[in-house]
Structure 1
């Protein structure tokens, strides 16, 4: 079987390395073992496309600029924060670099909760429909490649780039913190920073899967991009307004609007939003003194002493938010996988 030479050059270079094609063209077995698997060949192509695209470079520059802006503000306010004897988190110097702010800019984790979805949407809104519109998808599927390799490689390649980006930014901030403070992070601080990185990757992966889902569903890339941005704006701006209006309408007239039940209802409804789940989880990981994410009654607050929680206790607090983000990410990917496997790609 001959290789389809009508493929674009950036795909043809990787398809030539597929073991199955080499086997059918009479290559030696030793060469087959050294060649790339079809899945990893497409992943490698996706990673190189993302890194070399102007879209990713612009998003990377924007996130990096805001990252260093937040870091500059956090470093300037670090001496004042460490001098506060009443602050139970004053010993966690490196966590304050990611969570401290003077009000000029939000903390780093809050800014990531706002800008992270743009990174995921920008890397996935045209993952499938652009390949189909250009005719590349039909010619690629004509090769001896399983269809699920394509959709899985699209997600894996983008996720590898996202994971590398957040790991590099977080470790860069940690390294600059070592140079500024002259201290080394404690083991618990390092583990909390790793947990923060994992939360960032899961959060952006949700928006990546959502944009890939719209890319499979809609034929035009502009439609999928606008739909994904509309969902992001809805949960970021309008959802809180609608929840506040609904909570006031559902509460009985005789109950105070600032009561415990009203606040509990608001927290329950707001926890549906992915950005709220991410903000609550990262705040608990980066601020060890956070003991609860919902309103507390007077009975629950009696006898409470301001102190920090261990990493295990903080993970217990954020476990519902973490499982919610993972479930939403898996659900979006499963739905996009199902639609792509049943999609007619020849039209």
Structure 2
């Protein structure tokens, strides 16, 4: 009892430098026009995707041939219209832009304005600066995605009246976590480029160029190279065709967008049993029924660990460059 009274009437501890920098970075992100612009884009795409999904939800749920027709709230995130794709497709496209917008000038803008030198003159470690910038941006992104998902669940409850199953909630939360990790990779890459380059425009253009390469050009390059190297499939047996298809899929999964798309699609569609080609022997006796959450998570675990490893590698490179960087005005 005495310990509780001492804690109740004790003087609160002063905030640590890390917490102070996190608060400052969160406030800067929320008040910045680029974040407001990206927020409006993501919210508008979310509203459009939810409108299409809710307009077609009755027809989708009544489709008995679909093994996932009972998962109403998962259908809200995966149903696409004639002119608008599903919401997770939008996230795979807009998520990198959000991460780049939050991190392309994280370090070089403060260095050019002279605030970084004054900050390092205080008893603040360099790693705390990087961690605060990365953690604050991820906190903003996590709050944004979680708020959108809660709005989706609330709107679905009001319109459909269907209760949320525990499996659906776990899959939706896992989708939010993977989306945050995906944005975190591009955020860590943008912060790394902001440490490497002195000018914010150079780091922004480099990050956008890398994003365009992996989103648009990488798939075309892989297809052209494989078409030129591999023999005609008409002269191959089924096992060799499956081996070549697995090779192409493995090369495609070098792109972070492909890893995210595979993971998000598998978690939001429980009927997906494999992310690669299956032989007739593997499909024999398979019942078209939805998988459990743990089974779907085991399927996408390589994709999730790949995204986490890429994010950690970018952040480790950022840490190395920032520790060896000479800070001058």
Does the TM-score normalized on the shorter chain lie above 0.5? yes
Q: What is aligned with 2:322?
A: 340
Deviation at 1:148, TM superposition (A): 1.3
Cα distance in 1 between the residues matched to 2:297 and 2:193: 32
Q: What is aligned with 2:30?
A: 51
Q: Contact 1:247 / 1:265 at 8 angstroms: preserved in 2?
A: no
Is 1:100 matched up with 2:76?
A: no
TM alignment of 1:148-163, pairs within 5 A:
148-163=127-142
Q: What is aligned with 2:104?
A: 125
Is 1:185 matched up with 2:164?
A: yes
TM-score by length of 1: 0.89
TM alignment of 1:259-338, pairs within 5 A:
259-338=241-320
Deviation at 1:259, TM superposition (A): 3.0
Q: Contact 2:49 / 2:84 at 8 angstroms: preserved in 1?
A: yes
Q: What is aligned with 2:13?
A: 34
Q: Contact 1:125 / 1:221 at 8 angstroms: preserved in 2?
A: yes
Which residue, out of 158, 167, 175, partners 2:146? 167
Q: Contact 2:219 / 2:252 at 8 angstroms: preserved in 1?
A: yes
TM-score by length of 2: 0.93
Cα distance in 2 between the residues matched to 1:191 and 1:228: 33
The CA RMSD over aligned residues, in Å, is 1.6
Q: What is aligned with 1:70?
A: 49
Is 1:206 matched up with 2:185?
A: yes
Deviation at 1:316, TM superposition (A): 0.7
Unaligned runs of 5+ in 2: 1-8
Unaligned runs of 5+ in 1: 1-29
Q: What is aligned with 1:11?
A: none
Cα distance in 1 between the residues matched to 2:177 and 2:249: 24
Cα distance in 1 between the residues matched to 2:312 and 2:94: 21
Deviation at 1:32, TM superposition (A): 8.2
- Deviation readout 1:261-316 (Å, 9 max, x if unpaired): 33222111101110000000000000000000011122212222211000010001
Q: Contact 2:233 / 2:241 at 8 angstroms: preserved in 1?
A: no
Q: What is aligned with 2:213?
A: 234
Q: Contact 2:77 / 2:86 at 8 angstroms: preserved in 1?
A: yes
Cα distance in 2 between the residues matched to 1:90 and 1:148: 48
Deviation at 1:183, TM superposition (A): 1.4
Secondary structure, aligned partner of 1:86: coil
Aligned residues: 318
Deviation at 1:68, TM superposition (A): 0.6
Is 1:220 matched up with 2:192?
A: no
By relative contact order (CA 8 Å, sep 6+), the higher-ranking structure is 2
- Deviation readout 1:197-242 (Å, 9 max, x if unpaired): 1001000000000000000000000000000000110111001001
Is 1:196 matched up with 2:175?
A: yes
